[in-house]
Structure 1
Amino acid sequence: MVEIRPVRPDPFPATWEVGDYSVSMVWRGVIPLGRQTIRISYPEAPSGTKHLRDNGHSAMIRRWDHLIALEPDGSGTRYTDRVAIDAGILTLPVARFAQSFYAHRQLRWQKLVESGFAYEAG
């Protein structure tokens, strides 16, 4: 859906570390969406839960505050995305796009888990 290409650093590190990453984004492989700053942090979370936060921004999106939470859930793990967006008058279409993007990504996660993490199958 959206290809996120590293600008700085290039390539992406094997593990996301605290700090800023500059990326370019392309929709459907052809339509450039511009550059975005991904600002990674690991906020404190309740015991047993892990948080990763991207408090990023771009020229079009003033605030893209994305919190990923991983927490124990029975014999598995619950994965939750929470996103707060401020893109001025474009907030509604950007938020709708984000909703579609994360729904698509959740389906891909489910397929990956069902395949036993066989990346080639996804």
Structure 2
Amino acid sequence: MRVTLDLILDCSPDAAWEAVHSPAVFRAVSGPWTTVESLEPGGFPSRWPGGDHRVKLRMLGVLPMGTQLIRLSDEVAPGVRTVHDTGGPLSGPMRTVRSWHHQMAISAAPGDGGRTRFRDTLTVKAGVLTPFVTAGFWVFWQLRGRALKRLAPGWNT
């Protein structure tokens, strides 16, 4: 099943593109509901390169949610740039998710080159639990969307 956001962000597409490659932004839009710790040597980089990154997740900073593989790749097409995460949960309660594809598409907002259209789509499969897992991610995605809109104006600096 799929969870989506289609937002207009108050920042340039270039600023949004850099933000979706920022571990600091990832942690900011995940929290405080989910805290994220890098499991990579040296911790989080200042900017996500493509490839694999392992993280540990906790709900509200205390409830272990397990580990997750973030597997990033970029796709650049005329007028839209997309980050794909095809990793997924490795351990813990989120391991019920068997298929994971997160896409963040960045383009200029219609009629306004100074703002960004941000399409955030998560497609998950968890067998018979898929509707329940999707409902949980839907709630998280709404909170994430609010955080993205709140933080975006600061990305232009």
After TM superposition, the score normalised by the length of structure 1 is 0.84
Measure, in 2, the Cα distance between the counterparts of 1:9 and 1:106.
30
| Coordinate RMSD, CA, aligned | 1.7
Moved more, 6-15 or 35-44: 6-15
Distance change in 2, residues 1:89/1:8 (3 Å): farther
Distance change in 2, residues 1:57/1:112 (3 Å): closer
The residue type paired with residue 53 of structure 1 is: H
Question: What residue number does 1:98 align with?
Answer: 137
Q: Which is bigger in relative contact order (C-alpha 8 A, separation at least 6)?
A: 2
Measure, in 1, the Cα distance between the counterparts of 2:42 and 2:54.
9
Please list every run of 5 or more consecutive structure 1 residues that lacks an aligned counterpart in the other structure. Answer: none
Measure, in 1, the Cα distance between the counterparts of 2:69 and 2:41.
11
Measured against aligned partners, the alpha-carbon deviations of 1:45-65 in whole angstroms (never above 9, x if no partner) come to 3x1211101111224122210
Please list every run of 5 or more consecutive structure 2 residues that lacks an aligned counterpart in the other structure. Answer: 1-32
Q: How many residue pairs get matched? A: 115
Percent identity (aligned)? 30
**Structure with the bigger percentage of helix:** 2
| Alignment equivalent of 2:65, drawn from 21, 24, 33 | 33
Matched, 1:71 2:107: yes
